[in-house]
Structure 1
Amino acid sequence: MLKKLKLLAATAVLTVAAGTAMAFLAAGTAMAFPDKPVNYIIPFNAGGESDVSARLQQPYFKKLTGQDLIIQYQAGAGGAQAWSVLNDQVGDGYTIMGTNLPHIILQPLLQDPGYKTDDITNIYMFHFTPDALLVRADSKFETVQQVIDAAKAAPGSLTVGGVATNTANHIANQLFTNLTGAQLTYIPYTGTGATTPALLGGEVDLLWGYTTVAAGQGDKVRMLAVAQDERHPLFPDVPTFKELGIDMTGGAYRGIAVPSSTPEDVRKELSDIIGKINADPEFIKEMEQAGFAMLNVPYDKVGAFMEERKKLYEDIARQLGSLK
C-alpha cells in the first residue's frame, strides 16, 4: 500500500511538472514572437518615402525584437500590384506590407486595381508627410494670403504642380479651393522627382508638396503653410493652414498591413511593436529631421481612422469628377 501511495505521489509530481513545463513553453513561444526575420514588402521602388521610413524603422525593430526586418520591393501600378496579392501571403506575422493613403482608398474607388480597400488589414498607421504649399525662394509670394488674393483676382492664372491626379497633392489643391475660393490651375507630374525641378525651373508658380520636400531642398524653396494640427518641429516659423483660418490637415499617410489570414493575437503583437518603435524618442527625432510627421493609430483604432479618411476622399473624388 505504501509503495502504491509513493507511486501515485510521484506520478502527481511528474504530471504537475509536465504541466508547468508545457505552460512555460507555451508562454515562451508567445513571448518569443517574432523568432525569425520579418519580411517587410514596400509596394514601391527603393529610395521613396515609404522606403526611407522603413529603413529608419529597421534598427529599432531589431533592438526591440532581436530579429531583422528585411525590406523587399514589389513596385508596380502605384502600389496596387503588391496590395492586390497581399492576402495571398502566409498570415503568420512574418510578412508585412507598407500601405499608403489616399492610394488604398482612391484606387478601388476610381478603378479595379485587383483589391478593395476593405481587403487591406492595416495594423498601424505610423506617420504622414503633411501637405505643404511651396514656392521658390525668390518668389514674390511670401504668404498664403498673397496667393489667395492673386488667385481670386485672376482665377486659374496661377499654376501649381503636384504628383499625378487623384493623389494627396490633387486632393490638397481641391480642398484649398473649397476652403478659400482660390482657384489654382493644377499641373500633374509623374512624381516628386519631377515636381521639384518644375518648381525650381519656373514651370509652375507654386507646388503642392510635403514637408519632406522642403527638408530636402533647404533654402531653395519657401514653405508658406503646412497641413498639420501643430507646426512641424523642423519648421517652427512656418504656420499651419489652421492658424491661417484654413481647416486643412492631411497629406500622404503610411502604415503597415498584414494578410487577412493573420490571427488577431499576431496582429496586436505587431501593432504593439510598431507602437513601441513610434514612441522611441530617437526614432521620433530621426523621422522629424527627415520631414515626416508622427502619427499613432494602433490596430484597435485603425478602423475608425480609415472610415473617416474614406468619407473625405470619396467626397473629394466626387468633386473632381473621378468616381467610377
Structure 2
Amino acid sequence: ATCGVSIVLQEQSPDIQAGVDHAYEERMGDASDEDLDTQGAGDQGMMFGFACTESDDLMPMPIWLAHRLAQRLSEVRKAGVVPYLRPDGKVQVTIGYDGHRPVSLETIVISTQHQPNVDIDTLLRPDLVQHVIDPLIPSDIDAEDVRVLVNPTGVFEIGGPRADTGLTGRKIIIDTYGGMARHGGGAFSGKDPSKVDRSGAYACRHIAKNVVAAGLADRFEVQVAYAIGVATPVSISIDAFGTERADPARIRAAIDEVFDLRPAAIIRDLDLKRPIYQATSSYGHFGRSEKSFAWERTDKADDLRRLAT
C-alpha cells in the first residue's frame, strides 16, 4: 500500500440542519404553499456559471482541450496503447486569442507518471504527441508552433498520495472553467446537493449554457448568492460581456421565468439526488456529454429565445 485511508464521519450540526430543513421563509411565515420554500440553502456564499462559443460544449477552449487530453491520456493507458504509463497525471493548455476568439495553440504541458527506465525525449514525448495530442488538436486552431512539455521535472515514477498529499475539496478552477470565469470559492467534491456551493454552481452553468445555446449571447456569466437557511437567492446577476443579441433586461426576465434557483427546485430540476458524482472527480464538472450531467442539457434554450426576443 502507498497510502493510508481513514474514514471519519459525523452528523452535521443540528443548528445548520434546522435551517436547511426549515427555511427562513417557512419560519417567518412567508413560505408559499410549495414545498420548495421549505428547504433553505445549506450555506451562504456566491456561485458562478459560464458558457461561451469557443467549443461545441460551450466551454472555454483551454480547459475544454485540457480535459479532453487528460481523458485521452487515461484511455491510452487503460487500452495498452502506451503500456508503460501509470495512473497519476495532469494536463495544462495555453491558447492564444484574438479578442475572444481562440486562434493558436501555444503550449501543452503533460505531466504523467510512468514505469521506471522510460526515456522522456525518445519514447514518452513522441508517444504522447502521436497517441494523445495529435488526434485531439482542433482543426480550426493553429498548432504549427505549439510547445509540448512532457514531464518538465524529468522522471515521474512515484505518483499518487505517496508522492504528494494534501488536497482539500479538489482544485476548484480545473473543476470549472480553467480561470476563464469567476469562481465563488467553494469546492464541489464531498458535498451533497443541499450545499449550494455545488448545486448552485451547477444551476448557474445550466442557465449560462442555455442562454448561449439559444443564441442570446456568445459569452455569458451568471452569478447567484445565497444566505444560509434561506430558500430564495439574495442576489442574481448576469453579464454578457457585450456579446448579447437581445436586451439584457429581457434576458434576465426570461431567466427568472424559466429557472427556479431555490435549492429544492435545483435538486428537483437537475435530479441531483442520484449517485452521479464519482464521474465528476476527474475531467471537470462542466462541458461533459454524459446524460447524467443534467446541468449540461440545453433543454431550456427554446424557452429563453422565445421570451427574450
TM class by shorter chain equals: under 0.3
TM-score (norm 2): 0.23
Larger radius of gyration: 1
